[in-house]
Each structure stands twice: as structure tokens, then as C-alpha cells.
A and B are shown apart, each in its own frame.
Chain A
Amino acid sequence: MLKLDRRSFLATTAGLSFLTFLPRIAFADGHADTLRVAIAGETGDLDLLQNVSTLSSYSAVFDALIHYGPGGALEPGLATAWKIAEDGLSISFDLREGVSFTDGTPFDATAAEWNLKRWMGVADFSWIGIADAYDNITIDAPNKITVKLKRPVPAALLELTIVRPVRFLSPKAAAGQPIGTGPWIVESYSSTETVLVRNDAYWGEKPAFGRMELKVVPDELARANALRAGELDVIGGDWVAALSPRRAKALEGEGMTIVAEPGTATTILGFSPKSPMMQDKAVRDAIFLGIDRAAVATVLFEGYADPTADIFPTTVPTAGARTPVPARDVAAAQAALTAGGWTGDASGWTKDGAALEIAFLVSEESFPGSRRIAEMIQGMLMEVGVKTNIETVDNATMHERRPNFDYDLTFFATYGAPYDPHGSLGASFVTASDTGPDGKIYVHPDLDALVATALETGGDAREGAMQAVYDWLRDNTAACPLVVTQRLWAVNPRVKGFTLPATDYDLPFKGITLG
């Protein structure tokens, strides 16, 4: 039989305590200078021309000519200055001098030209206005280039801030080698982790810590638990590793720092322009008025969302004048139906013998949490008398049905910064655009003309042209904006000075110090 005296008990306890602290000691040795950030999907080799890597890590490794700043301000990147010709047909760039790629290759006009020609004028990238309008590039000096265009592209400078393909790769990089001029260098990447080390020769403000480990954690609860356990320092960012409002609330209650700021992407309820039911403006009006946006923001987004009646929030440039967010008004919704020739009440409506019944297409895979929002809206519309049938489908079915407008109602989201407003307007509201499986929010011949004018108009007239689009969308109840979800991040207490990156496509590291 085991005999345990006081001395051996104390020795055993001390030994076990030491073993318990071993991982923390190891952590202190190995991770003190390392920021561990969750990413939802692997980074891959960060190929700038392929749509295979997650979007979150490009800006850490590669620079663009122009960087996206707060509120859409354009900040110098690899270009220190730029000038658009009066006719809008050429843009000249002064390139930053003394910059090298991390393999030692100098960044100059030749390297810039090589990079830009990889995507400008290439059919695959015609969705980018400046690529579609590209004519040629001239090297004016060792550090000065001019891009010539076939037609003016007012959003050209904003387009040069997007994640890919606009960033700059070393011309000497072998295939699969992500070598840029950015603040971080890829040390290794695998399906579970990507390790970045600080680029000590970076031209801009260098990170305050030397290493960043991007841990692939696809499950949101697992990410939150890893943050709680101290295995991760930062989680969040819609395109990095999304943090749900509910989880953020739970983490906040446990002492984690939650950083929330107004978002740049709008969640929109889309009406199918091909659905006979939704072509009736009275039905669209009834839905628009019958939804309690504030309740959606409070109940399902825990207050981490802002109700809206506009397509774009003010956090993106030229978002237009604000429309007051309508309070839910069941009587007004029913009055709209009556004015539209419908007869009925809260128990149901009919017109020309047809019952008012709407198919609400939802995919949790495409849009996590959408079924709960749909259920809430279904309950609200039920009180108006609009019967809503929620069809829950998988991603593949959603990708098949959405481009064909094979639904009455479904959810959309605008792209957010740095792609908006030109990105969402040019893709999701234009009949001829190719948005693939994403579908379009609303299309109409009149709207096509207005959007084309808005996207081609520059200078002082641009704001008015954009406003004309927003007015048309509002007057025709072409879509039903619901909320702007806030940008949400949760941070371990050892992370000091956390500030949100410029967009949710960027990794957070600027200003951060590790305790």
C-alpha cells in the first residue's frame, strides 16, 4: 500500500506545480515576441493572380501603390505621389525610392511595370475598372511611371488599394514564393499555420514585435476557446476570422478586450427582379416597412450592428445623403399593400386570386446566421399578413439559384472597404456584370444607365451622379438595407495598443505591443 508522509506529499505537489507551469515557461521563452492571430482558412502561397488564398494576409506581405486609410483616405504606399491628367486618361506615379523586395530586388519603375502588366489589360481582371480601361504603361524615369487609359476611371485610385491583384511581387520570385516589400516576410506556410517574421528593412513604420503566427482555426467557438486559453492573442475581422456578436458579448464578460467600430459592409435583403411577386412595388414597400431593423440589430447582433436604410454606410466614400431609418410600421405596410391593389389583413393578402406568399432563400453556409435573421423577419412579416416560406439550401444550391434570381427574397452584403461604393455598384446593380455565384442585388435598365454614368463621372460631379443612383434605389424600393454590421475583434490582455486595421481584409499589427 502506498504510504504518503507529509514530506513526500509536499515534494509531489511541488513537482506537479512545476510541471503545470512548464508550458507557460515555454510560452514565455518562445512567444514573448510573437503575435498569434487566428485565420479562418489557410493563406496558401499568396498568389496575387489566383483566387485561392484567403484575402487576409496579402497586405502584410505585399504593398500597393496606394494604401487605404481611415474613411477611404488615400495614403502613399509604394507611390509617394500621383497625378491624374485633366482628361482622366493617364495617371502618373512617383515611386518610392530606396525600397527593395525582401529578396533584395530593387523596387523601381521596371519592377512596377512588370507587376502592373500582369493584370492590367488582362481579361480575367476586367472587373477592375482600371484593368479594363488600360491602354499602356510608360516609364518616364527610373522611379516614375505613367499608366495610360482608354477611358477615364474615376475610381482608379481606390481600385489600386484593393487586396489583389494590384500589389507588388518581386519579379525574381519563383512560382509559389510570396516575396513583397511589405512589413512582413513569409517564413513558412502550411495548412495549419503561416509564420511571418518582421521585415527589418521595411520602408514604413516597422511592427513592434518580431514574429506573427497565423493559426488556421476554422471553427469560431474553437477560436474563442483558444483565445480564452491564451493560445491566441487576437481573433476577429470579417475576412480574417469572423467573430460573431454573440461570442464577442460572451468574451467581453470574461475580461477580454472587445474592439468594435462602425462597419463598412451593409447586410441587404434583396428582392428578385425576376419574381412576379417582387416586381410589385407595393409588396416591396410592405416588406421595407414591416421590418424592425433596430430589433434585428439588438436581438441578433447584440447591438454590434447599426440599423440602416441606405445601401452604403458613411464609412465608405461617396455613400450619399442619409435616409432616416424607418421605424417598423405594420399599419403602413398593410396600407401599402392596399394601395397596391391587394386585399386582406394580418391573416393574409390576395390580388387577382393569387395569395401573397414569398420564398425566402437562405444558406447558412453562404451567410452564417442568416437563417435566424430570416426567422425573425418571417415573424415580423407574418404580423403584416405576408406569408414567408424559408427555404434553407446548401452553398451549391444558393450559388445556382442566386445568379438566376430564382427566389423572392434573399440576403446580400456589400463588399465593404476598400471595394465600395464602386465595387458593389458596378457588380451587384448592373445587368451585364459577371458576378458569378454571388448574384446581383437588383438590376433594371434604368438603373444600368444611372450606375454607368455614376461610375464614369469624376470630379465634383461624381457625388451628384452617385446620389442619383441611391435616389433611384430608394424611390423604387429596389432593395431593403437592414443593418451595417460592426467590425469586431477580441484581444487577449497581453496585447497592448490594439487598433483596428484600415479594412477587415487586413491583419492587425500596427501600433500593437506585446506585454
Chain B
Amino acid sequence: MKNWPWAILAPAVIFVLIGIFSPWIMTHDPAAQDYGALLQGPSGAHWLGTDYLGRDMFSRIIGGARTSLVAMAFVLMAALAIGVVIGSFAGYVGGKTELVLISVIDIALALPSLVIALALMGVFAGENFSWMSDYWKMIVALTLAWWANYARMSRAVVVAELQQPYIEAARVMGASHIWIFTRHILPHVLGLVVVYASADAGALVLAIATLSFLGLGVAPPTPEWGQMLVDGMSYIEENPALVIIPGLALTAVVVSFNLLGEAFALQKVPRAVRGRFLARKKAARAAEEAARKEVEA
């Protein structure tokens, strides 16, 4: 990883920048239809051509990046907050509360996140939720499907940290639970979940696109890559660019976020955490070796 070109991470960075500055980058209104310029190839007027309603593909790709980025940011922040709160609380409090909460987390993890999101979208399709737009339904559904991993990780970190002597020392010195949690445990929890979230961002962009592909996400005319893909499918024979362009954008961003997560995991995780992990692993291996020798003897 150390020797990998950092350019690989460029799509993720560009995606974020485009998402933020898209109104200034788009050359056309992404919803503007022009029946005189249907399914055109790239040109000076339309850098990536036009779609079946004569809409500018470049502007729709840029607009789609913003749609995905905003949804991804909302879902990641909400899922991370819910997961950290529930997981940390379970790990810190322990006992029956932990047992109940960990059971809920296990149930949530037993099903693929996308399946849960699809089921929730089905529930939200009912009249009771008609006050929510499809976009917010998607964000809520993905958040509720995505928090469990963060909760499980948070709990594991909290349980591990609570075993450490410095926590015991802090308690002996009379530190409050809030103090111990916010000053000593939360930084470790966040260190890990943020690294995971950076890799998870790609999966989330893909999930947003998948829901839109299935017609459950963003409503027209808002551009969204998954929806552009499904719309382009009908024209795949005569104009494959309608599928290839959003497909490539999606692929680049997902791969890039995955690599970003990996880079963070290998290089940005606090050295102390890695050191302890390696020490524990070394000790376990030594114990296994000793046991094996004892059996042989």
C-alpha cells in the first residue's frame, strides 16, 4: 500500500470536491430538457453528450455526485452516531443491558444491510410516511440498516479499553464515568469507526445507487447515478454511454473509497492500538507454541 500511487485516491477526493462545488461546475441545468438534442455524443456544447430527453450528461453526472455525497454524508453521520452511542453504552454498562443491546445488534447484523433497507423502504411506502420525501425515506432506511456495524465495533473497543490499567487508575483517582468515557474511551472508539466509515462510504454510495436503480431512492428530476444507470439500460444498444458514464463514475468512487479506507487502516490508526494488537497476537502465538511443546513432551 505504501508504494501505491496516491492518484488512486483521486476519485474519492474529486467526488467530494465535486459534490461540494457542483452548482459552480455544472454547465447546464441537469433537469433542462432539449428535444432538439436527444442522445447526442460528446461535443463542445455537451461535454459528455446528452440523454434521451436531451439533458446534459456532464451536468447530470456532477449533480449526481452531489446527490450521492449529501445522502452518504447524512447516512454515515447518523449511522455512526447511533452505532457509537448504542455500542459504547452496551460495552460500558455491561450486564443484562449489554446482553439485550448486543442481541439487537446481532439481529441487525444477521441480515444484509441492503435487504433491511429495502424492507424499510417498503414500510415507508405506506400512507403513514407520506409526509417524507423519497429521498429522506432512503436516508432514514439506510441509516437504520447501517448503524449495527458501528455499534458492534464501538462495543468491542469499549470492552477492550475498560480492561486497561489506566482506566482502573482513573477510577481510583475518582474520575467520573463521563470523564472516563469522553476523555479515555471515546477517542479510541472514534479512531476505529472513522477508519471503517471511510471504507464504508464506497459501499454506501453503491447502496444509494442500488436503491435508486430499483426505483426506491431519489425522485426525478434530481440526477442520481443509480437512476441514470437504470434509465440508460433501455438505450444500451444504441447509446451505451448512458450506462457506461454513470457506471464508471460509480466504480471509480467505490474503488477509491475502499482504497482510502485501507490506507487509513494501515497508516492512520493510532500506533498504540496497533502495538497492543500485535503484542496480544504475539503472546497468543507464544502460548500456543508452549502448549504444543508441553503436549509433545
Q: Which residues of A contact B (CB under 8 A)?
A: 221, 244, 246-247, 249-250, 295, 298-300, 364, 369, 371-372, 374-376, 378-379, 382, 389-394, 397, 406
CA distance A374 to B231 in the complex (A): 13
Partner of A244, one of B216, B220, B234: B234
Chain A CB within 10 Å, residue with most, of B32, B33, B235, B236 = B33
- Distance in angstroms from B101 CB to nearest chain A CB is 34
Q: Are A372's CB and B231's CB within 8 A?
A: yes
Q: Are B220's CB and A375's CB within 8 A?
A: yes
B-side contacts of A369, CB under 8 Å = 234
New A-B pairs, 13, CB < 8 Å, besides A298-B35, A371-B220: A299-B35, A299-B38, A364-B215, A371-B231, A374-B220, A375-B53, A375-B220, A378-B220, A379-B53, A390-B219, A392-B216, A393-B125, A394-B125
Q: Are B53's CB and A299's CB within 8 A?
A: yes
CA distance A371 to B227 in the complex (A): 11
A-side contacts of B31, CB under 8 Å = 379, 382
B-side contacts of A250, CB under 8 Å = 237-238
A-side contacts of B125, CB under 8 Å = 393-394, 397
Interface of A, secondary structure class, is helix
The contact sample of 18 A-B pairs, CB cut-off 8 A, is A244-B234, A246-B238, A249-B238, A250-B237, A371-B215, A371-B231, A372-B52, A372-B53, A372-B234, A374-B220, A375-B220, A379-B32, A379-B53, A379-B221, A382-B31, A392-B215, A394-B125, A397-B125
Partner of A246, one of B219, B231, B234: B234
Q: Are B220's CB and A391's CB within 8 A?
A: no
The answer to whether residues A378 and B221 also contact, given A299-B53, A372-B52 and a CB cut-off of 8 A, is yes
Convert B116-148 into 0s and 1s, putting 1 for each residue whose CB lies closer than 8 angstroms to a CB of A.
Answer: 000000000101000001100000000000000
Q: Are B235's CB and A246's CB within 8 A?
A: yes
Which residue of chain A has the shortest Cβ distance to B222 in the bound complex? A390
Convert B205-249 into 0s and 1s, putting 1 for each residue whose CB lies closer than 8 angstroms to a CB of A.
Answer: 000000000011001110000000001001111100000000000
Q: Are B237's CB and A299's CB within 8 A?
A: no
Convert B34-47 into 0s and 1s, putting 1 for each residue whose CB lies closer than 8 angstroms to a CB of A.
Answer: 01001000000000
- Distance in angstroms from B67 CB to nearest chain A CB is 15
Which residue of chain B has the shortest Cβ distance to A294 in the bound complex? B35
The answer to whether residues A390 and B220 also contact, given A250-B238, A371-B215 and a CB cut-off of 8 A, is yes
Convert B45-64 into 0s and 1s, putting 1 for each residue whose CB lies closer than 8 angstroms to a CB of A.
Answer: 00000001100000000000
The answer to whether residues A379 and B33 also contact, given A391-B219, A393-B125 and a CB cut-off of 8 A, is yes
Q: Are B33's CB and A376's CB within 8 A?
A: yes
Q: Are A376's CB and B53's CB within 8 A?
A: yes
Q: Are B238's CB and A375's CB within 8 A?
A: no
CA distance A221 to B235 in the complex (A): 10
CA distance A295 to B52 in the complex (A): 12
Partner of B134, one of A299, A391, A394: A391
CA distance A327 to B220 in the complex (A): 25
Chain A CB within 10 Å, residue with most, of B215, B220, B235, B236 = B220
CA distance A389 to B218 in the complex (A): 11
- Distance in angstroms from B216 CB to nearest chain A CB is 7
- Distance in angstroms from A220 CB to nearest chain B CB is 9
CA distance A140 to B53 in the complex (A): 63
A-side contacts of B238, CB under 8 Å = 246, 249-250
- Distance in angstroms from A112 CB to nearest chain B CB is 47
CA distance A374 to B78 in the complex (A): 33
CA distance A197 to B39 in the complex (A): 45
Which residue of chain A has the shortest Cβ distance to B134 in the bound complex? A391
B-side contacts of A295, CB under 8 Å = 35
Chain B CB within 10 Å, residue with most, of A298, A299, A379 = A379
A-side contacts of B220, CB under 8 Å = 371, 374-375, 378, 390, 392
Q: Are B234's CB and A375's CB within 8 A?
A: no
CA distance A379 to B32 in the complex (A): 7
- Distance in angstroms from A226 CB to nearest chain B CB is 14
- Distance in angstroms from A503 CB to nearest chain B CB is 26
5 nearest interchain CB pairs? A392-B215, A379-B33, A375-B220, A390-B220, A397-B125
Which residue of chain B has the shortest Cβ distance to A389 in the bound complex? B219
B-side contacts of A391, CB under 8 Å = 134, 219
Q: Are A406's CB and B127's CB within 8 A?
A: yes
- Distance in angstroms from B55 CB to nearest chain A CB is 9
CA distance A335 to B215 in the complex (A): 35
CA distance A244 to B52 in the complex (A): 15
CA distance A414 to B63 in the complex (A): 38
CA distance A104 to B80 in the complex (A): 74
Q: Are B52's CB and A299's CB within 8 A?
A: yes
